[in-house]
Amino acid sequence: MTNHVITGAKLTDGTTTDLYVRDGILVDEAPADAQRIDADGLIALPGLVDLHTHLREPGREDAETVASGTMAAARGGFTAVFAMANTDPVTDDAEKAEYIKLLGERDGHCQVQPIGAVTKNLDGKELSEMGLMARSGAQVRVFSDDGKCVMDPLLMRRALEWVRPFGGVIAQHSQDSSLAGPGACCHESEISGRLGLGGWPAVAESVIIARDVQLAELTRSRLHVCHISTAEGVDVVRWAKKRGINVTAEATPHHLFLGTREVEGYDTTFKVNPPLRTDEHIEAVRQALADGTIDIVGTDHAPHAAQDKDHAFADARPGMLGLEQALSVVMETMVNTGRMDWSTVVDRMSATPSRIGGLTNQGQPLTPGNPANLVLVDPSARHTVDRSQTASRSRNNPYHGRDLPDPVVLTMFGGTVTYQR
């Protein structure tokens, strides 16, 4: 393993320092045989952590693999991702979770931590082997049927009860489909009516969050709200936190930046679930991320092969890429507007997602003794996003053609440089 000396890096507190890396660990003296990395003008952050990634392997390697997805993650400054369970086969037992862990160790350009399914085969009928997954070599702590909502309230209660003894968390896709209908594919608004697209009302999100936070209070367990996208949902989470309920929430980059108007051209790149919302919801999500009501940024990186997007809008698969431009979007919407400083970025994109997911080796300060998981950021660089240049196997990048910050200069995972511009 190559040792490193990173010179002239600026930390989030404004100080400038040199960072020394030996055998994958930050140390307090420069190794004699170190490779020098000039970080003059760059900001050093702990490696980013994504609690919500779809890597598609096994089952849909035409859309993404662990290798390609984690390379996209490294390009985005991430040193760990949590892999959602909706693969084929579904990650719903210990053997499958350990296989995902093995794929990450073999092919990954960052740490890959499996997420286990809440229900067997994501069917919403019978709990998966959550306890066995937690005790397995994969050490699963986050469980989700993401892509589907756990609709049965008794099943959701039992899931929350089941994970409490080992400190697990249920990550819910909060969306009541009975309030929308099978053709829902757009935020319910004037635009959905004009375009003739089935609408998802904002209340379809908030009613599930309201139910689940009360179940979390009843069971004294942990709930995580995936991809919160509405002002109503934010209000419920804020109420729950004031009551002391153990709930956390995430916002995606696309719900911070993109709005319902994007779908007016019926471009299926912008079909996502939950849907892109109107301005009042975007503002509510931004404010909640800034004030801590929303705890983290989760990318919901959802690669799709061309044949899954090349349909009429209502029939196309929902989802969009997110890993490579996540920090860019957070900079554009939150940092450059003065809503968040770099210390808050570290909290929302590194320290807190690590804590929620139980990763003790990630999200740590850049001090001697901690793993050398870090990203060097150029706060002034910009570029025009080109989807053809992505590391992902898919091209459903909603930021294509947009001028955005281009912050990531170098990513280091466990002392190994996984990306360098």
Q: How far apart are CA 211 and CA 245, in angstroms?
A: 12
The dihedral of CA 152, 153, 154, 157: what is its sign? positive
Contacts of 161 (CB under 8 A, 6+ apart): 219, 221
**What CATH number does residue 164 fall under?**
3.20.20.140
**pTM, full prediction:** 0.98
Closest CA to 170 of 155, 192, 190, 188: 155
Q: Is residue 361 part of a domain?
A: yes
Pairing mode, if any, of strands 142-143 and 169-172?
parallel
Domain enclosing residue 93, as ranges = 47-365+384-398
Q: Judge whether 118 lies within some domain.
A: yes
Which strand ranges, in their side-by-side order, compose the sheet holding 111-114?
48-53, 78-83, 111-114
Would 409 be classed as within a structural domain?
A: no
| CA distances for 212 relative to 230, 281, 349, angstroms | 16, 21, 24
Separation between Cα atoms, residue 159 and residue 210, nearest integer Å = 17
Other beta carbons less than 10 A from residue 244's beta carbon: 8
- Which burial class, exposed, middle or buried, applies to 125 when counting CB atoms under 10 A from its CB (0-12, 13-18, 19+)? exposed
Residue with tokens 């503002």: 283
Is residue 56 within 8 Å of residue 356, measured between CB atoms? Answer: no
Q: Show pLDDT as tens, one digit a residue, over the chain (421 residues).
A: 899 999 999 999 999 999 999 999 999 999 989 999 999 999 999 999 999 999 999 999 999 999 999 999 999 999 999 999 999 999 999 999 999 999 999 999 999 999 999 999 999 999 999 999 999 999 999 999 999 999 999 999 999 999 999 999 999 999 999 998 788 999 999 999 999 999 999 999 999 999 999 999 999 999 999 999 999 999 999 999 999 999 999 999 999 999 999 999 999 999 999 999 999 999 999 999 999 999 999 999 999 999 999 999 999 999 999 999 999 999 999 999 999 999 999 999 999 999 999 999 999 999 999 999 999 999 999 999 999 999 999 999 999 999 999 999 999 999 999 999 9
Backbone φ, ψ for residue 25 (5° rounding): -125, 145
How far apart (Å, rounded) are the C-alpha atoms in residues 329 and 316?
A: 25
Tokens of 237: 């989470």
The pLDDT of residue 126: 98
Domain count within the chain: 1
In single-letter form, the type of residue at position 260 comes to: T
Asked if 23 is an active-site residue, the reply is no
On whether residue 13 sits in a domain, the answer given is no
Q: Look-up: residue for tokens 């009613």?
A: 207
Identify the helix (H) or strand (E) that includes residue 375.
strand 374-377
- In whole angstroms, what is the distance from residue 37 CA to residue 141 CA? 36
pLDDT at 181: 79
Provide the pLDDT for residue 1.
Answer: 85
Q: CA 208 to CA 185: how far, in whole Å?
A: 18
Residue 370 lies in a domain: no
Pairing, β 4-10 against β 16-22: antiparallel
Give the full edge-to-edge strand order of the sheet including 169-172. Answer: 142-143, 169-172, 223-225, 247-251, 296-297
SS3 content of the chain, % helix, strand, coil (to 5): 35, 20, 45
93, 300, 347, 406: the active-site residue: 300
- pLDDT of the residue at 376: 98
By the 8 A CB rule, do 414 and 395 touch?
no
| Per-residue model confidence (pLDDT) at position 180 | 86
Please report whether residue 413 resides in a domain: no
DSSP for 68-80 reads HHHHHHHHTTEEE
Q: Are 301 and 69 in contact (CB under 8 A)?
A: yes
Q: Is residue 421 part of a domain?
A: no
Angle of helix 203-219 relative to helix 231-242, nearest 10 degrees, comes to 20
Look at residue 161 and tell me if it is in a domain.
yes
In this structure, are residues 54 and 300 in contact, taking their beta carbons and an 8 Å threshold?
Answer: yes
pLDDT at 182: 81
Q: How far is 421 from 75, CA to CA, in rounded Å? A: 9
CA distance 140 to 82: 10
The confidence score (pLDDT) of residue 342 equals 98
Residues in Cβ contact with 156 at an 8 Å cutoff, skipping those fewer than 6 apart: 150, 170, 172, 211, 212, 215
Per-residue pLDDT tens over the stretch 263-316: 999 999 999 999 999 999 999 999 999 999 999 999 999 999 999 999 999 999
